[in-house]
Amino acid sequence: MARPPFAHLTGQAASGWPAWWLQRRWQAWMLLPLSGLFGALTGLRRLAHQRGWKRAWRAPIPVIVVGNVTVGGTGKTPLVLAIAQHLSQSGWKPGIVSRGHGRKDVGHAPRQVEPQADPATTGDEPLLLRRLAACPVWVGRDRAAAAQALLHAHPDVDVLLSDDGLQHLALSRDIELVVTDQRGPGNGWLLPAGPLREPWDRPRDATLGPAASMAISASRSQAAPRFVLHRKLGMMRHLVTGERLCLNAFLLRHAGQPLAAAAGIGNPEQFFDMLRSEGTTLTATLALPDHYGFDADPFRQIQAAALLITEKDALKCRSWFFHLDRLWAAELLLEIDPAFFPWLLARLPVRSDHPHGFTSA
């Protein structure tokens, strides 16, 4: 059985990025000319949309894009979930579109995500959003097509959220939110010499992230408001019995026993650090690639009485996994600057009861 890659492979930093994406080492300098080419091509693409040479589809309702300017996960999906839940509580009827990264049966046609869908066909994050946000979720390579399909199927939806898609310019947007994590811009260079998909100081309506990354802001983005996010752990859920325990109760139950953790997310070390900061002593950690498919059991080699994983990874664990009864899914929660939601709601138009012009498919 092939063993999954670990975060501590040669050249890979604990951040989940190559070490030379964090500092301007010789490898980054060697690739800098390619970064210039990458920047020119992405800039030309954005200009084409701005000048109307390439058309973008504009939805008849507000569109909020939540994305990042760096490679890898920064916690966009938990923020999309929090926004969807808050909008629902405020009387809005949100819908969510996503690329559905990691799904195998991609195809070209948009697909509706059902609560009991196979994550291999929908992607793990869209399925998690569908179950927790309790609102329509559609996936597709073309987010504009996915948005159109969602609105045809759900004409009552009055605000759209795009999970990721900051660089997907075919879908016009009314609000752009950039999410950062503690890694910030890394060495500050574009791909492939650095981790940036766009310049760190690109315009945006707001930036959200941990306090440390909020301090790293280029002059162009300083005019946009910044809101602090704090990620924390919620309940631990046993995959077999469904029992839920707070972390302290979980640690008391497993006192003196070896504990391990695994994560197939954009920055696994962030998950491990959260567990350690709450007093969890980990005898082993397993950093899997983001959107890891779990076609094989990656936990066989780990010697531990209990193994903590993320809710996203728990969606894909199979019933035949070795010692499935030692797996616990850790709920990840967000504490968001209390000023954020009033700011967001103030930027949305006054709600209207008039239909947006779409009819059910």
CA gap 73, 101 in Å, rounded = 11
- Asked if residue 257 and residue 212 are part of one domain, the reply reads no
Query: What's the chain's average pLDDT?
Result: 89
Dist. CA 230–CA 127, nearest whole Å: 24
Domain residue limits at 126: 54-224
The pLDDT score that the predictor gives to residue 166 is 92
Closest CA to 257 of 299, 305, 195, 224: 305
97/206 same-domain check:
yes
Structural domain count of the chain: 2
Does residue 160 sit in the same domain as residue 248? no
Domain boundary among 162, 194, 224: 224
Does some domain include residue 149?
A: yes
Q: What local confidence, expressed as pLDDT, does residue 251 receive? A: 97
Report whether pLDDT(359) > 90: no
As a whole number, mean pLDDT of residues 150-155 equals 98
Amino acid 9: pLDDT: 30
Query: Half-sphere exposure of residue 115, counting CA atoms within 13 Å on the CB side?
Result: 5
271 pLDDT tier (thresholds 50, 70, 90): very high
pLDDT confidence of residue 218 = 45
Q: Residues 111-145: pLDDT tens digits? A: 999 999 999 999 999 999 999 999 999 999 999 99
Are 117 and 156 contained in the same domain?
yes
